[in-house]
């Protein structure tokens, strides 16, 4: 362990439980060298802004060496920074600056697959007998030359790609340039854990584990069964993708993954205060997988939940159903909730929310049991940007255009001001065009405006942090329908009543039986009357027992 990791100060090793993580997509956050692409130095420059929000940690999407066919999620060297983002020295400076500001640093580990440009794959494909011949998933063709089975890629088409060098197919759950590693090989597991240790020794505080349930495949390469049309959803892939036509029993979420995740957690436990959140891409059994992956102190700390990343509008009834199902199934585990990220349409657009609704749902997100991920620009109320086909970068969007426009609309540059053509992101033409409508929501406009979305997020994050019951407490839904939801949060001897008016009409609220008082620290409006409490449309209230601690 190097000196940086040894001297890292951790005041609360349980910081992740109830913590708020701010996702930074480095290509689009801040360009510091005028090439139109964000970089690590740009992040360093903007860290005081992130710290001012009141979040606990940043999560940086991949910055490793990569040919960038999937923008960093196709790694060619796990132990180095891609030159477009900077150097290892820049990353060490980023960690130091973040820690000085009280921010943890989590990085995105993409362990399930590499780039075809990785030296491991180049060696593996060179013959069937080299030292790394089975570091990837290779299989012979069927007698008619077709792929080994019916597995599909999330990016469309077969999950198998023919390689003329080895005269075999290799597995790729994503792009053909992203071959899957063979986790059944112990050497592969050892090397990936060694890479994890490499970044822990450099002082990182944790990891977001990309596609954590894709690590293992079925050794027998059995066909996936079809999925009934009524059971299909678009939680993992858009509706236009035939990936949804299968029940993915054999190409992912295999039982062997449990043992590997225990090895991963044991490694993190050598570095007190570190944590991991796993991204579970599983449409049919998502919560069951979360339960398996977070049960006990020897598994992942938490899983990144997809429930609110889907298209379904979060009515009170819908939210209550998710919470009650989670309490039932993931009773021993911990969730990390999110509305938006770099892979989905921004939730302001996805759910067609006005500004008051955005604030209300942000308050709801920060009141749930679990940790929270916020995606850059969410705190500004950014909508999904329209990116013309000629400017499109995402291979996913190019594959399914125009019914699915890809992920670029959520990845456009962050608007810092409206004083320059590119919103303060870069002096050069950005890699994706900045949305004109985003300039009116720039940080400069919102920074000093008391009622702005930005300052609402700051106020709500401050309110959350002031109440341990919101950070670490249990949750019990009291009432819910399409127009409202209320629940109790409980932690040790503390309680809090939370009520959300999800409708466009006012309602009268009565507090639970007993002696309660309204906490006026939350950034919402209400009016107390003789008949009860008048709660205007899209507002919330929080109440505390008068005779107990908060």
pLDDT of residue 329: 94
Q: pLDDT grade, residue 231 (50/70/90)?
A: confident
Are 344 and 486 members of one domain?
no
Are 209 and 269 members of one domain?
yes
pLDDT of residue 12: 85
pLDDT of residue 7: 40
For residue 79, what are the CA distances in angstroms to 118, 192, 193, 194, 529?
Answer: 12, 11, 12, 10, 62
Quote the CA–CA distance of 24 and 57 in Å, as a whole number. Answer: 10
**Domain end among 464, 496, 512:** 464
Please check whether residue 134 lies inside any domain of the structure.
Answer: no
Please check whether residue 127 lies inside any domain of the structure.
Answer: no
Q: pLDDT grade, residue 448 (50/70/90)?
A: very high
Q: pLDDT grade, residue 420 (50/70/90)?
A: confident
Please check whether residue 238 lies inside any domain of the structure.
Answer: yes
- Adjacency order of strands within the sheet including 484-491: 474-480, 484-491, 494-501, 540-545, 516-518
* 423 in Cβ contact with 367 (< 8 Å): no
Percent of the chain scored above 70 by pLDDT? 97
**Domain end among 443, 464, 485:** 464
Of the candidates 184, 177, 191, 78, the residue with the CA atom closest to the CA atom of residue 136: 184
For the segment 412-431, the average pLDDT, to the nearest whole number, is: 95
* 112 in Cβ contact with 181 (< 8 Å): yes
> Comparing 354 with 237, which gets the higher pLDDT?
354
The predicted-structure confidence for 202-225, as pLDDT tens digits, reads as follows 999 999 999 999 999 999 999 999
Please check whether residue 32 lies inside any domain of the structure.
Answer: yes
The predicted-structure confidence for 42-88, as pLDDT tens digits, reads as follows 999 999 999 999 999 999 999 999 999 999 999 999 999 999 999 99
Instruction: Provide the residue range defining the domain that includes 540.
Output: 474-545
Please check whether residue 120 lies inside any domain of the structure.
Answer: no
- The mean of the pLDDT values for the chain is 95
Tokens read off for 50: 């992130």
Quote the CA–CA distance of 504 and 486 in Å, as a whole number. Answer: 17
Dihedral sign of CA atoms 116, 117, 120, 122 in order:
positive
DSSP, collapsed to helix, strand or coil, labels residue 401 as coil
Of the candidates 514, 489, 483, 487, the residue with the CA atom closest to the CA atom of residue 499: 487
Q: Total structural domains in the chain?
A: 2
Q: Does 93 have pLDDT greater than 60? A: yes
Please check whether residue 171 lies inside any domain of the structure.
Answer: no
Are 356 and 260 members of one domain?
yes
Are 483 and 457 members of one domain?
no
pLDDT of residue 9: 44
Are 365 and 480 members of one domain?
no
pLDDT of residue 548: 57
pLDDT of residue 4: 42
Please check whether residue 514 lies inside any domain of the structure.
Answer: yes
> CA Rg, the chain, in Å?
24
Please check whether residue 122 lies inside any domain of the structure.
Answer: no
| 344 phi-psi bin (left φ>0, alpha ψ -120 to 50, beta other) | beta
pLDDT of residue 293: 97
For residue 249, what are the CA distances in angstroms to 283, 500, 542?
Answer: 11, 39, 43
Are 381 and 305 members of one domain?
yes
Quote the CA–CA distance of 153 and 176 in Å, as a whole number. Answer: 9
Backbone φ and ψ for 102, nearest 5 degrees, come out as 85, 15
**Domain end among 412, 441, 464:** 464
Using alpha carbons only, what angle is made at residue 343 by residues 109 and 314, rounded to the nearest 5 degrees? 120
The predicted-structure confidence for 1-11, as pLDDT tens digits, reads as follows 344 443 444 46
For the segment 119-131, the average pLDDT, to the nearest whole number, is: 98
Are 246 and 264 members of one domain?
yes
Backbone φ and ψ for 242, nearest 5 degrees, come out as -65, -5
Are 410 and 482 members of one domain?
no
* 278 in Cβ contact with 112 (< 8 Å): no
Catalytic (active-site) positions: 210, 270
Are 489 and 431 members of one domain?
no
Of the candidates 500, 488, 498, 494, the residue with the CA atom closest to the CA atom of residue 539: 500
Are 41 and 106 members of one domain?
yes
CA distance between the termini of the chain: 40
For the segment 518-525, the average pLDDT, to the nearest whole number, is: 96
Q: What is the CATH number of the domain that holds 292?
A: 3.20.20.80
Are 531 and 421 members of one domain?
no
Are 425 and 530 members of one domain?
no
The predicted model scores a pTM of 0.96
For the segment 306-329, the average pLDDT, to the nearest whole number, is: 95
Quote the CA–CA distance of 2 and 461 in Å, as a whole number. Answer: 34
Q: What is the CATH number of the domain that holds 492?
A: 2.60.40.1180
């Amino acid at each position: 362990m190097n000196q940086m990791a040894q001297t890292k100060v951790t005041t609360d090793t349980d910081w992740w439980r109830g913590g708020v993580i701010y996702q930074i997509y480095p290509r689009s956050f801040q360009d510091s060298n005028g090439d139109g692409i964000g970089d690590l130095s740009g992040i360093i420059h903007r860290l005081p802004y992130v710290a001012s929000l009141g979040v606990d940690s940043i999560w940086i999407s991949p910055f490793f060496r990569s040919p960038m066919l999937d923008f960093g999620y196709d790694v060619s060297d796990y132990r180095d920074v891609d030159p477009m983002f900077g150097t290892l020295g820049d990353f060490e400076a980023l960690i130091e600056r973040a820690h000085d500001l009280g921010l943890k640093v989590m990085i995105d580990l993409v362990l399930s697959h590499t780039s075809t440009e990785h030296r491991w794959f180049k060696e593996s494909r060179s013959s069937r007998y080299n030292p790394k011949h089975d570091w990837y998933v290779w299989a012979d063709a069927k007698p008619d030359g077709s792929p080994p089975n019916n597995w599909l890629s999330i990016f469309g088409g077969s999950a198998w790609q023919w390689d003329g060098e080895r005269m075999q197919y290799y597995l790729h759950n994503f792009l053909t340039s992203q071959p899957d590693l063979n986790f059944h090989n112990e050497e592969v597991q050892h090397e990936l854990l060694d890479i994890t240790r490499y970044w822990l020794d450099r002082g990182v505080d944790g990891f977001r584990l990309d596609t954590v349930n894709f690590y293992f495949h079925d050794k027998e390469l059995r066909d996936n069964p079809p999925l009934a049309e009524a059971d299909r959803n678009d939680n993992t892939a858009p509706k236009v993708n035939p990936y949804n036509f299968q029940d993915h029993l054999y190409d992912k979420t295999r039982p062997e993954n449990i043992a590997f995740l225990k090895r991963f957690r044991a490694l993190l436990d050598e570095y007190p205060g570190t944590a991991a959140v796993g991204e579970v891409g599983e449409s049919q059994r998502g919560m069951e997988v979360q339960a398996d992956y977070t049960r006990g102190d020897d598994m992942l700390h938490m899983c990144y939940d997809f429930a609110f990343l889907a298209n379904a509008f979060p009515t009170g009834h819908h939210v209550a159903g998710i919470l009650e199902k989670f309490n039932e199934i993931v009773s021993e585990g911990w969730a990390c909730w999110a509305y938006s990220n770099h892979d989905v349409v921004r939730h302001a657009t996805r759910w067609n929310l006005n500004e008051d609704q955005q604030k209300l749902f942000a308050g709801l997100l920060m009141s749930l049991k679990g940790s929270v991920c916020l995606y850059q620009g969410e705190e500004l109320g950014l909508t999904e940007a329209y990116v013309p086909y000629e400017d499109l970068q995402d291979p996913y969007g190019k594959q399914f255009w125009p019914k699915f426009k890809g992920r670029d609309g959520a990845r456009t540059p962050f608007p810092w001001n409206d004083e320059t053509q590119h919103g303060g992101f870069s002096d050069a033409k950005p890699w994706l065009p900045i949305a004109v409508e985003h300039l009116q929501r720039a940080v400069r406009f919102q920074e000093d405006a008391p009622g702005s979305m930005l300052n609402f997020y700051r106020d709500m994050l401050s309110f959350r942090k002031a109440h341990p019951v919101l950070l670490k407490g249990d949750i019990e839904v009291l009432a819910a329908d399409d127009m409202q939801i209320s629940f109790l949060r409980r932690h040790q001897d503390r309680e809090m009543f939370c009520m959300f008016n999800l409708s466009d009409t006012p309602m009268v609220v009565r507090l639970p039986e007993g002696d309660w008082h309204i906490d006026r620290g939350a950034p919402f409006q209400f009016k107390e009357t003789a008949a009860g409490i008048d709660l205007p449309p899209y507002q919330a209230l929080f109440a505390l027992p008068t005779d107990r601690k908060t």
